[in-house]
Amino acid sequence: MLDRKQELEYNEIKMPCFLKAETYVLKNGMKVTAMNGGGQDLCRLELVFEAGSKLQTKALQAAMCNAMLLEGTLSKKANEIHESIDFYGAYTSLDVNSDRSVVSLYTLNKYFNTIVPIFIDAIKNACFPEEEFQVLLDQRKQSFSINAEKVDFIARKAFFAHLFKNHSYGKEATLANFQELSREDLIEFHKSHYKKANLKTYLSGEIPPNAHKLLDELLGDWEQNKPIVHKPFTDKTSQDKIHIAKEGALQSAIRIGRVCFNSHHKDYLELKYLSVVLGGYFGSRLMSNIREDKGLTYGIGAMCVQQEDSGFFAISTEVKAESTQQALTEIYKELKRLREDLIPEEELNLVKSYIMGQILSSADGPFAQSTSLKNLHIYNLDFEFYTTYQNMLNKLNSNSLKDLANKYLKEKDLCEVVVGNIS
């Protein structure tokens, strides 16, 4: 007879096998990191530029420059580039954040030799035509005005503007900025951060045999920039409260957090762990209390995020408008619990297993592993990092976590943003 009540034994989750990345060094000394495998005849090429918004001299410059990388060169119009990308069944993605820009191409191997030169040429020789510039700018302006109606968007902007008021991470765009930008601003930004770049390239999938040679031809004469020196940033913390009323809002958006640091700081990993306990998974304390016990929200989370110059800790949620105060009280209660009570052994282990599972899925296949490695390289780390991570997990103890909560998560150090019902 099957005993359904009896728990099955849990097998320990082992570190995944990391693939060994190959490094090609091109003529100009540029490095290409190649992660081979996957079994499908396709691959992904990613170009990482140090071209994030923290380097811009004008709002929206980095984002618009990134968005227009495939919008035409002097010899090729935007529609010719789009037509080639679509015709060969390729997909592209253009991403940018405050630190960097990542431009990716997904292609079938049989078209690799055809589409890669078009893609790289477009990025290198982007000319930012006026017509496309206006269309894209209008598009973004519209999206911005739509987002500006959302409590969550308003809260996020207010939160970062306040947390990083003394750093470019806190410079949030406004609607007026859309009028002030011109294509010349993009040409300027492209010249100093793309045409000349400390470019890092990642290739993953079943890598075609001639990839090294082709990339040497296409990227080997790219003018290299010196890597940017990161200036670690930290700031005083204070218990500021920013409350923005939004009439008729059915939900209030809440952000609570502070400036922290990145993985170069000795406390980063443990604080990240603590953020998982608090609000990093479905069964976390905030989810259990505010969603699963009280039903005040569809979702609530806590995170500890690293940036090249800094990092931040944040709790975020959208809650039933009339229960805004109750939600705030419960959030602070959970923070207090982290500072005053020891995390029970069982919870400690559960979160460890959860994190190990996350690591395992972030290492699932060459694409995922290449993404992980790329993110590690940003902080001058490699897969060794996971050994350090695992050692940290093994050594974790409730006392030091409690100390950590007292060090970083005191109410007097947390800024609070509420948008919606603030009565």
Partner 1 sequence: MINFERFELANGLRVIVHQDKTTPMVAFNVLYDVGARDEDSSKTGFAHLFEHLMFGGSTHIADYDEVVEKSGGQNNAFTSNDITNYYITLPKDNLEQAFRLESDRMLSLAFTPKSLEVQRQVVIEEFKQNYLNQPYGDIHLLLRPLAYKVHPYKWATIGKQVSHIEDATMDDVKSFFYKHYAPNNAILVVAGDVNLEEIKSLSTKWFSNIEARDVPKRNLPKEPRQEEARTLSVERDVPVDILYKVFHMCSRKDQRYFATDLMSDVLSRGNSSRLYESLVMGQKLFSDIDAFIGGDLDEGLFYFGGKLSKGVSMEEAEAGINLEIEKLKTELVSDAELTKVKNKVISAHMFSELNVLNKAINLATSELLGDPNLVNMQLDLYNAVSSENIRAIAKDIFRSENSNTLYYNAK
Query: Which parts of 118-147 interact with partner 1 (CB under 8 A)?
Result: 131-132, 135, 138-139, 142, 145-146
Binding status of residue 383 toward partner 1 by CB under 8 A: no
- The HSE-up count of residue 172 (CA atoms within 13 Å, CB side) is 18
Of 25, 31, 95, 148, the one binding partner 1 (CB under 8 A) is 148
Q: What is the rounded CA–CA span in Å between residue 145 and residue 147? A: 6
Q: What is the rounded CA–CA span in Å between residue 406 and residue 410? A: 6
Kindly indicate which of the ranges 11-19, 163-171, 379-387, 388-396 contains the residues binding partner 1, using the contact rule CB under 8 A: 11-19
Binding status of residue 297 toward partner 1 by CB under 8 A: yes
Within 8 A by CB and 6+ apart from 55, the residues are 62, 189, 193, 228
Q: What is the rounded CA–CA span in Å between residue 117 and residue 109? A: 13
| DSSP secondary structure letter of residue 73 | B
Q: What is the rounded CA–CA span in Å between residue 197 and residue 50? A: 7
Q: What is the rounded CA–CA span in Å between residue 81 and residue 61? A: 22
Binding status of residue 364 toward partner 1 by CB under 8 A: yes
Binding status of residue 223 toward partner 1 by CB under 8 A: no
Kindly indicate which of the ranges 259-267, 329-337, 346-354, 411-419 contains the residues binding partner 1, using the contact rule CB under 8 A: 346-354
Of 25, 93, 113, 282, the one binding partner 1 (CB under 8 A) is 282
* Smallest gap from residue 12 Cβ to partner 1 (A): 8
Kindly indicate which of the ranges 40-48, 212-220, 221-229, 255-263 contains the residues binding partner 1, using the contact rule CB under 8 A: 40-48
* Smallest gap from residue 154 Cβ to partner 1 (A): 12
Of 161, 214, 360, 392, the one binding partner 1 (CB under 8 A) is 360
- The HSE-up count of residue 108 (CA atoms within 13 Å, CB side) is 7
Binding status of residue 296 toward partner 1 by CB under 8 A: yes
In the bound state with partner 1, the residue whose beta carbon lies nearer, of 30 and 67, is: 67
Binding status of residue 16 toward partner 1 by CB under 8 A: yes
19: number of Cβ within 10 Å? 18
Q: What is the rounded CA–CA span in Å between residue 59 and residue 144? A: 13
Of 25, 113, 213, 298, the one binding partner 1 (CB under 8 A) is 298
Q: Which residue(s) pair with 92 in the sheet?
A: 105
Of 344, 357, 380, 403, the one binding partner 1 (CB under 8 A) is 357
Instruction: Count the site residues for partner 1 by CB under 8 A.
Output: 75
| DSSP secondary structure letter of residue 204 | E
Of 54, 156, 291, 374, the one binding partner 1 (CB under 8 A) is 291
Q: What is the rounded CA–CA span in Å between residue 46 and residue 213? A: 17
* Smallest gap from residue 211 Cβ to partner 1 (A): 18
User: Which of positions 74-103 make contact with partner 1 (CB under 8 A)?
Assistant: 78-79, 82-83, 85-91
* Smallest gap from residue 72 Cβ to partner 1 (A): 11
Of 34, 38, 49, 273, the one binding partner 1 (CB under 8 A) is 38
Binding status of residue 283 toward partner 1 by CB under 8 A: yes
- The HSE-up count of residue 84 (CA atoms within 13 Å, CB side) is 21
In the bound state with partner 1, the residue whose beta carbon lies nearer, of 83 and 403, is: 83
Of 328, 350, 392, 422, the one binding partner 1 (CB under 8 A) is 350
Q: What is the rounded CA–CA span in Å between residue 379 and residue 7? A: 41
Kindly report the backbone phi and psi dihedral angles of residue 250, in degrees, each rounded to the nearest multiple of 5, phi listed first.
Answer: -85, -20
* Smallest gap from residue 86 Cβ to partner 1 (A): 4
Binding status of residue 302 toward partner 1 by CB under 8 A: no
Burial of 144 (0-12, 13-18, 19+ CB in 10 A): middle
Burial of 252 (0-12, 13-18, 19+ CB in 10 A): buried
Binding status of residue 344 toward partner 1 by CB under 8 A: no
Q: Tell me the residue ranges of DSSP E strands in 61-149.
A: 91-96, 101-108
